[in-house]
Structure 1
Amino acid sequence: MQEHRSRAVRLDAFGGPEVLDVREVPAPQAGPGQVRVRVTAAGLNPMDWIMTADADTAARFGLSLPAGFGTDYAGVVDQVGAGVTGFAAGDRVFGSALSRAAADFVVADAAGEVAANEAYRTPDGVDDRTAATLAIAGRTASAALAAVGPGPDDTVLIGGAAGGVGVFAVQLARIAGARVIGTGSAGSAGYLRELGAEPVVYGDGLADRVRALGGVTAAVDLHGVETVHVARELGVPDGRICTIATQVDGVTAANGANAPSGALPEIARLVAAGRLRVPIAAGFPIEQIRRAVELQAGRHVRGKVVIDLQLDPAGAGPSL
């Protein structure tokens, strides 16, 4: 079999965007039970640069040098390993490949179900750039909401609602029938309204502002602990409060790896049906990976940042 050469983001030292380089590397080969995907788009998440920022954090994720970068991907299956029956060459797929998605090719487990090493069929009606944003943020939002169980009788306070996970959490809570109050900067109010949340500015006096909107029955803190403290002050029991970015005694800390079974295919189905949308804030070619990460790490971008690779006209839109 002829070996393809391919581009991939690599780092020889842990650190910030300055350690990221694009290299030519041998293309990975699909082993038994695996598929190789020709990547068309890779979505960025805070997790990508957090876990490669220093050696201790990287070790907790099982990463060692030299390392790759990026986890969310979408593309087209171009090689199928022995024993794989659910996929064929040419199938459009999306999923996650821990710290190796920003590359022309990734190999993933065809069985799916394992967070950060999975492949799912991309539904018709979902473009590749959108599909490339679903895995980490979608799983995390699903896990957080499962922890608090929002329903039609609930008002959910979502802290950091304008961020990458917030995009999903707000809309999924609304789909579940809940009213949503989302915290953000004053400048994010219009964006939050478009997602379906009632905006409220974070910071001093947040509890009073939320109380003026009628109070809440559940809360998800996607940023730190401010929303946890406010929810407790407003009488929300710890069993209906969840965090994703920190640990608080008595409060569930959600992890995307523990999202409900079938969460990602369901999110993709909701996107295809037009019930959930994912704003794409910016797209960059892989050669501009440092610029892309700097923008995403600034935490002020509204929507997702995507690395555009071999864009397929049938599966992906134009770069911004």
Structure 2
Amino acid sequence: MRAAVVTTFGGPGNLHLAEIPAPRPAAGEVLVRIRAAGILPFDTGLRAGHMPPAMTPGYPEHPVVPGNEFAGTVAEAGAGVTAFAPGDDVLGFTTTGAYAEYIAVPAGNLAAKPAGMPWDVAAALSGNGQGAHMALRQLGVGPGDVLVVHAAAGGLGTIAVQLARHFGAAKVIGTASEANHDYLRSLGATPVTYGPGLVDRIRAAAPEGVDAALDAAGPEALHASVELVEDRKRIVTMISDAEARELGLPEWSGVRTGERLAELADLWTQGAFTLHIRAAYPLAEAADAHRAIETGHGRGKLVLTVGEDA
């Protein structure tokens, strides 16, 4: 099968197309013919060699195939699998391996793809969608809350903004560059610009105070959150773990599951949130997709199209 692989860790150019053996499903697993795969910062860290050995099994004898989220059609169900059958359209998650034409994963990593959900949206839903869902549940966001979402125009931020409103938040403040302010307003957020004076601008946008904060931007945003939110248990960062420990903040927690993914798919069907696809790249151009995501700019998600009908 074709796959985008890494044989030597490094920059985006180290990610290239190759022919590798297709997997077979073990007992309890499902073989999926991938139609599209989402791209996450996790994948770029894996490609660069920033992950522990457990994330790169078999390296260097076997190439590393990045890819954390995907959507496709069941090709084969392993022994004992009853929830899925060949021909079923699914979306799912993994740790590695999704930048390929086929992947074998435990049946519990999958959910049925809604008939009306485009392949690119299905492929891009799991990582940021489940991350946003877990973070909001950990923060206890609910009716009447005022929430700040840092990096609100990104893949995780856009879902978090919309889900927070769906869960009853009274106001969502979204930090982003000015170019994305109209976009955030369309999602139901009050936009605030990054940079010096951030705390004062957020306080002006939320004179009633801030109840919780979700950081997907970095240390500056996390320090601002500590100034704004009285209860430190209601501050979560998705990327600044070291700073969170120094500030005495709780670690982000949660587990991705097929059930959570199915709930997100149902929420999407209900219209609780939309998922903006910034760009789609063919599998052979995975390196260009990594270059794009590493700029740190842009709204929404990047995906790889794998199957011909994706």
TM-score by length of 1: 0.89
Superposed, which structure 2 residues align to 1:126-275 within 5 Å? 126-178=117-169, 179-213=171-205, 214=207, 215-247=209-241, 248-249=244-245, 250-255=248-253, 258=255, 262-275=259-272
Return the structure number with greater helix share.
2
Structure 2: distance between partners of 1:143 and 1:241: 13
Say if 1:143 and 1:260, in contact at 8 Å, map to a contact too.
no
Structure 2: distance between partners of 1:158 and 1:203: 15
> Secondary structure of the equivalent of 1:200?
strand
**Does the C-alpha gap of structure 1 residues 26 and 259 become closer, same or farther in structure 2, counting only changes over 3 Å?**
closer
Superposed, which structure 2 residues align to 1:1-320 within 5 Å? 6-54=1-49, 57-59=51-53, 61-63=55-57, 64-65=59-60, 66-110=63-107, 112=108, 118-178=109-169, 179-213=171-205, 214=207, 215-247=209-241, 248-249=244-245, 250-255=248-253, 258=255, 262-312=259-309, 316=310
Structure 2: distance between partners of 1:223 and 1:260: 25
> Secondary structure of the equivalent of 2:135?
helix
Offset, 1:259: 5.1
Say if 1:43 and 1:304, in contact at 8 Å, map to a contact too.
yes
> Structure 1: 5+ residue runs without aligned partners?
1-5, 113-117
TM-score by length of 2: 0.92
Residue 246 of structure 1 aligns with an amino acid whose one-letter code is S
Offset, 1:57: 2.1
Structure 2: distance between partners of 1:24 and 1:259: 30
> Secondary structure of the equivalent of 1:310?
coil
Q: Deviations over 1:219-265 (max 9, x none)?
A: 1111212233223223421011111101213212324x535883211
State, as a whole percentage, how many aligned pairs show the same letter: 39
> Secondary structure of the equivalent of 2:267?
helix
> Structure 2: 5+ residue runs without aligned partners?
none
> Secondary structure of the equivalent of 1:232?
helix
Say if 1:146 and 1:260, in contact at 8 Å, map to a contact too.
no
Name the count of aligned residue pairs: 300
Q: Deviations over 1:195-231 (max 9, x none)?
A: 2211000111011111111231111111212233223
**Does the C-alpha gap of structure 1 residues 191 and 242 become closer, same or farther in structure 2, counting only changes over 3 Å?**
same
Structure 2: distance between partners of 1:199 and 1:184: 7
